């Protein structure tokens, strides 16, 4: 069942009913100010860091779901309603929400009044702007009262939800004209405040939640709205809110516009005050004046549209499959932008409190983002690398505001270092910017201890080599890519974190996944070393990769698939000898991507085992059989009920590894089949089962062992976005930048008989037309009228246009 439709022209998903199977959200803002907004206006916003600079309070895991954040209320005579449906849930005559690229438009109508809220975070601003348009579609004049509502978070979102003995006494606001200032803690160490204003005179305001809503009322029955009179309350302690009251008369057939601005303002420390005790409001006034009328909003919207058109113009697919086009051209890269910005910090499943930027996560997010804005990818790489330790290991996470490694989670995830090589290689392939390798980058943010970025990569690579176990395979440490394979944890005590507890420290537990990742990474690492003139290092890297390949084939092969790991005791994990967890997806994907077993048929065997044992209609599950009980020697993986998360859920992140592996062995049809099983646009028709947004990937879909098979969770912030982009754009459609040229080598099977890709890369434009006749073993290319050998198209000079004809 569908709950809306794609508007491909407008690049929007149009939601036709407020009763979606779960709140369907969007992200506004791509730079420093971010908003999460659901189709009924729920959500919150923050400046840079969802934990430390949160503007709006939001209650996760609430019932009813998704109340809070922002709202509008309309009083039309005695009728009180909320045009975004929540929180009053009135009967609406019409409802529509359009989530677009950085914009969300929610429209509701009732009794001849239509209210449209158009939200965006304009480029270059640290503010969420909402243009409210009210129209009177009835035959009689309307005299409406409109109430805005936001609830402020006292900045530190963790403290805000836990430290009530303090924060019930700290809240402060100021009101000037139509502008409400949230100034909690400004008196002491903060030099930032929030501002919430509207471009029209107001009939009154409220800033105290208890006064506005009533202590025993819900947001669906705010006292002030029910009585119709603002109280001009001033919050002092307790819960500061922002609410304007507007009195609006509209003649039949007419409309009125209002512009609301909710912004973050930071003053220089020595310019905090206008006079002693008086907050410096100048920057806020300037911000408000930039959005004092509708035309300014229109201009900001146009700028944002141009921005997205230009970003998405980097890779444009035209194919006969409209669902494929909308994934590749719009929604998948859009999600990649969001994961690049948020890593795993703030979604409707990630609270924005617990996790900062992940080392491995952010490196992988780069893969789907780097072609959009390479300069930002460059800065991100330098930030990430600065959280590496000098022995090559790395902080697992860092805080976006401070860019410092997060001590709570620390280090010891032994796959982390290698992802830096993967991220850097992707950046250089896209840009040709080898100079980045010579940038001086600190270890652990210590300016006194720096080395070139290449040296960081060298230490990453050698960290793996210095940490090999009894079978010559890499030690797993706290976990590898699979956060829940905690082979040194041995926890019998509730509340011990699986990832950071090591009750037994042995150098025995090994990961076949990291082994495959090492081989995969080694070829890029060696090529980069060659480019830097480090020929010996390049040769050595290739030799290490060859021995690792042998170690995998000797100790990491189980007969029909690749093993997953050796546990602390040296027992096999992911073997036919095991009772549960006999086969895991990760090493099948990564080892084959790395080329292990491609010559001797093992790769094909492993992938056939995936097809037989792990593939389901909703995607490929992580392992089988699911663990039916807790295994102290395995850790968190066995803590989940069968079919959820890492215990045999469809953990979508690793599905594209298998897709890429299938293209590697020439089975594009299978790759594309797997692709369609999890690509959200193909799941639109089963939204009632899938439940999360049909325009973005979710981290997990419940597997075949689960009670709720097919139900997705953790939408938006997942490495699934980047890897599926790589799988489809680079490997199935087959257009990918390499160090020495643009590879054009499609492997997508007969279902897509022909297509064209326009790819901008390094300043040139490649117009690629593919006839997917599947007649040849290797695709044949004609470049600007001349047939070439192989599938690598040399990079053209910036400004050039290159025509490529490809026949498969």
Task: Using the minimum distance from each CB to ligand GLC, give the nearer residue, 136 or 388.
Answer: 388
Q: Which is nearer to ligand GLC, 311 or 621 (CB)?
A: 621
Q: Which DSSP string corresponds to 247-306?
A: EEEE-TT-EEEEEEEEEEEE--GGG-EEETTEE--HHHHHHHHHTSSHHHHHHHHHHHHH
Strand order in the sheet with 4-7: 4-7, 12-15, 94-99, 103-110, 113-120, 127-136, 255-266, 192-198, 179-182, 173-176
Least distance CB 368 / ligand GLC (angstroms): 15
| Distance of closest approach, residue 343 Cβ to ligand GLC, in angstroms | 8
Min separation Cβ 74 and ligand GLC, Å: 41
Cα(584)–Cα(572) distance, integer angstroms: 12
Give the Cα separation of 223 and 96 in Å (integer).
Answer: 27
Residue 542 CB-half CA count within 13 A? 11
Distance CA 367, CA 591 (A): 19
User: CB of residue 659 vs ligand GLC: minimum separation in angstroms?
Assistant: 18
Residue with tokens 């009195």: 247
Q: Closer CB to ligand GLC, residue 60 or residue 307? A: 60
* Shortest spacing between CB 718 and ligand GLC, in angstroms: 6
Of the pair 427, 481, the CB lying nearest ligand GLC is at 481
Question: What is the smallest separation between the CB atom of 704 and ligand GLC, expressed in angstroms?
Answer: 19
Smallest distance, Å, CB 69 to ligand GLC?
25
Instruction: Compute CA 510 distance to the chain's CA centroid, rounded to the nearest angstrom.
Output: 30
DSSP-assigned beta bridge partners for residue 176: 179
Give the E-state strand segments of 414-571 in sequence order. Answer: 440-443, 446-452, 510-511, 565-566
Catalytic residue (choose from 483, 524, 558, 567): 483
Distance CA 582, CA 103 (A): 46
Which parts of this chain interact with ligand GLC (CB under 6 A)?
344, 358, 360-361, 481-484, 499, 636, 645-646, 653, 699, 718
Minimum CB separation from ligand GLC for residue 653, in Å? 6
Range list of H helices, 129-244:
157-162, 164-167, 209-213, 223-227
Judged by CB, which is closer to ligand GLC: 567, or 636?
A: 636
Strand boundaries in 559-688, DSSP class E: 565-566, 572-573, 583-584, 615-616, 619-620, 623-624, 650-651
Judged by beta carbon, residue 475 or residue 752, the one nearer ligand GLC is: 475
How far is the C-alpha of 353 from the C-alpha of 50, rounded, in Å? 7
Shortest distance in whole angstroms from residue 57 CB to ligand GLC: 24
Q: Is 96 helix (H, G, I), strand (E, B) or coil?
A: strand
CB of 91 to ligand GLC, least distance (A): 40
For ligand GLC, the nearest residue by Cβ is 483
CA of residue 261 relative to chain centroid, distance = 26
CA pair distance 395, 393, nearest whole angstrom = 7
Least CB distance to ligand GLC at residue 699 (A): 5
> In Å, how far are 68, 160, 176, 536 from 157, measured between CA atoms?
14, 5, 26, 51
Helix, strand and coil percent figures for the chain, each rounded to 5: 30, 30, 40
Q: Is 483 a catalytic residue?
A: yes
Kindly tell me which of 206 and 711 has the beta carbon lying closer to ligand GLC: 711
Cβ neighbours of 421 (radius 10 Å): 23
Number of Cβ atoms within 10 Å of the Cβ of 46: 27
Residue 128 or 483 having the CB closest to ligand GLC: 483
Residues 6+ apart with CB under 8 A from 271: 280
Q: Which is nearer to ligand GLC, 241 or 338 (CB)?
A: 338
Distances (CA, A) of 304 to 116, 145, 508: 19, 32, 53
Beta carbon nearer to ligand GLC, 481 or 795: 481
CA-based nearest residue to 645, from 492, 493, 477, 498: 498
Q: Sort residue 8 into left (φ over 0), alpha (ψ -120 to 50) or beta.
A: alpha
| CA R_g for the chain | 27
Whichever of 430 and 646 has its CB closer to ligand GLC, that residue is: 646
| Residues involved in catalysis | 483
């Amino acid at each position: 069942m569908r709950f809306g439709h794609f508007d491909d022209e407008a690049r929007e998903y149009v939601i036709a009913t407020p009763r979606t199977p779960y709140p369907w959200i969007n992200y506004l803002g791509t730079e420093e100010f971010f908003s999460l907004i659901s189709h009924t206006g729920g959500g919150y916003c923050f400046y840079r860091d969802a934990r430390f600079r949160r503007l709006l309070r939001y209650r996760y895991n609430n019932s009813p779901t998704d109340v809070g954040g922002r709202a509008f209320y309309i009083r039309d005579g005695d009728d009180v309603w909320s045009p975004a449906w929540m929180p009053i849930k009135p009967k609406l005559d019409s409802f529509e929400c359009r989530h677009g690229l950085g914009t969300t438009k929610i429209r509701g109508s009732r009794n001849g009044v239509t209210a449209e809220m158009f939200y965006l975070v304009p480029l270059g601003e640290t503010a969420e702007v909402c243009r409210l348009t009210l129209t009177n579609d009835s035959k009689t004049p309307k005299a409406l009262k409109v109430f805005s509502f936001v609830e402020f978070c006292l900045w530190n979102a963790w403290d805000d939800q836990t430290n009530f003995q303090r924060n019930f006494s700290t809240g402060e606001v100021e009101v000037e004209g139509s502008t409400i200032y949230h100034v909690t803690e400004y008196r002491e160490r903060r030099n930032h405040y929030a501002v919430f204003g509207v471009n029209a005179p107001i009939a009154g305001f409220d800033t105290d939640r208890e006064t506005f809503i009533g202590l025993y009322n819900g947001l669906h029955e705010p006292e002030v709205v029910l009585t119709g009179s603002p109280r001009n309350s001033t919050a002092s302690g307790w819960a500061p809110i922002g609410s304007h009251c507007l009195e609006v008369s509209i003649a039949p057939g007419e409309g009125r516009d209002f512009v609301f601005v909710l912004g973050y303002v930071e003053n220089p420390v020595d310019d905090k005050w206008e006079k002693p005790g008086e907050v410096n409001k100048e920057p806020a006034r300037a911000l408000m004046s930039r959005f004092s009328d509708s035309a300014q909003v229109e201009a900001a919207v146009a700028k944002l549209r141009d921005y997205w058109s230009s970003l998405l113009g980097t890779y444009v697919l035209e194919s006969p499959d409209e669902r494929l086009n909308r994934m590749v051209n719009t929604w998948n890269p859009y999600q990649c932008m969001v994961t690049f910005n948020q890593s795993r910090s703030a979604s409707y499943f990630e609270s924005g409190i617990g996790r900062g930027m992940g080392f491995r996560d952010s490196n992988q997010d780069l893969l789907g983002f780097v072609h959009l804005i390479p300069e930002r990818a460059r800065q991100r790489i330098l930030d990430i690398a600065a959280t590496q330790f000098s022995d090559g290991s790395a902080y697992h996470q860092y805080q976006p505001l401070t860019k410092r490694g997060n001590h709570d989670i620390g280090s010891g995830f032994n796959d982390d270092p290698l992802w830096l090589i993967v991220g850097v290689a992707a950046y250089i392939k896209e840009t040709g910017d080898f100079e980045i390798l010579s940038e001086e980058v600190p270890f652990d943010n210590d300016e006194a201890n720096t080395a070139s970025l290449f040296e960081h990569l060298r230490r990453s690579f050698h960290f793996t080599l210095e940490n090999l176990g009894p079978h010559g395979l890499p030690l797993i440490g706290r976990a590898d890519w699979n956060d829940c394979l905690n082979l040194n944890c041995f926890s019998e005590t509730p509340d011990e974190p699986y990832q950071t507890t090591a009750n037994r420290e042995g150098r025995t537990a090994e990961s076949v996944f990291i082994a495959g990742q090492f081989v995969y990474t080694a070829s890029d690492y060696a090529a980069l070393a060659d480019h830097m003139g480090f020929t010996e290092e390049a040769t050595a890297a290739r030799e290490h990769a060859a021995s690792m390949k042998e170690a995998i084939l000797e100790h990491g092969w189980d007969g029909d698939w690749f093993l997953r790991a050796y546990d602390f005791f040296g027992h096999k994990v992911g073997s036919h000898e095991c009772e549960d967890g006999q086969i895991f997806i990760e090493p099948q994907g990564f080892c084959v991507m790395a080329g292990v077993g491609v010559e001797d048929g093992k790769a094909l065997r492993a992938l056939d085992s995936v097809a037989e044992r792990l593939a389901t209609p909703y995607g490929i599950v992580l392992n089988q059989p699911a663990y039916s009980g807790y295994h102290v020697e395995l850790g968190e993986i066995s803590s989940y009920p069968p079919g959820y998360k890492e215990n045999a859920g469809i953990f979508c992140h690793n599905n594209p590894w298998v897709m890429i592996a299938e293209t590697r062995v020439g089975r594009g049809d299978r790759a594309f089949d797997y692709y369609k099983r999890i690509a959200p646009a193909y799941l639109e028709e089963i939204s009632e089962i899938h439940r999360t947004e049909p325009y973005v990937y979710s981290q997990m879909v419940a597997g075949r062992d689960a009670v709720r098979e097919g139900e997705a969770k953790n939408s938006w912030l997942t490495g699934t976005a980047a890897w599926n982009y790589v799988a489809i754009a680079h490997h199935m459609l087959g257009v990918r930048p390499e160090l020495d040229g643009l590879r054009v080598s499609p492997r997508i099977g007969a279902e897509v008989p022909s297509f064209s890709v326009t790819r901008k890369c390094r300043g040139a434009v490649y117009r690629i037309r593919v006839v997917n006749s599947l007649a040849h073993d290797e695709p044949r290319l004609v470049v600007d009228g001349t047939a070439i050998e192989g599938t690598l198209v040399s990079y053209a000079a910036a400004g050039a246009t290159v025509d490529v004809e490809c026949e498969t």
